[in-house]
Amino acid sequence: MADPLTDPVIITVVIAGVALAIVVAYFEMKFIHKKMKNRRVRAAKQDSNLPDEAHNAIVTAKAIAATLERQGVRSHEVTSWIQEAETAYQRGNYRVTKDLIGKAKERLLALKSVQASKGDIAKLEQLSTVGGSDEVTTKEILTKEVPPNFPQSKFSIQVAGSAIEQARSSGRDVVQATELLEAAKGRFDAKDYDGALTMARLSARSAEGKKVEMPAAPSKRAPTTAIVSDRACPSCGAPLRSDDAFCRKCGTRLVPSSCA
Render pLDDT for 174-186 as a digit per residue (tens, 0 to 9): 889 899 999 999 9
The chain-wide mean pLDDT, for the chain, equals 76
Amino acid 86: pLDDT: 92
Could you tell me what percent of the chain has a pLDDT over 70?
Answer: 72
* Crossing angle of helices 94-118 and 76-90, rounded to 10°: 160
Torsion of CA 166, 172, 178, 180, to 10 degrees: -100
Task: Specify the amino acid at residue 64.
Answer: I
- Which one, of 68, 55, 143, lies nearest residue 101 by Cα? 55
- Cβ neighbors of 94 (< 8 A, separation 6 or more) are 50, 51, 53, 54, 88
Amino acid 131: pLDDT: 43
What CA–CA distance (Å, rounded) separates 124 from 193? 20
pLDDT at 197 over 70: yes
pLDDT at 25 over 50: yes
Using CA of residue 251, residue 253, residue 258, residue 260, what is the dihedral sign?
negative
- Cβ neighbors of 207 (< 8 A, separation 6 or more) are 160, 163, 164, 166, 167, 172, 174, 177
106-120 pLDDT per residue, tens: 888 888 777 776 655
What would the mean pLDDT of 196-200 be, rounded to a whole number? 90
Amino acid 47: pLDDT: 64
Confidence category of residue 39, pLDDT binned at 50, 70, 90: confident
Query: What three-state secondary structure class fits 175?
Result: helix
Confidence category of residue 189, pLDDT binned at 50, 70, 90: very high
Ranked by mean pLDDT, which of 98-102, 110-114, 253-257 comes out on top? 98-102
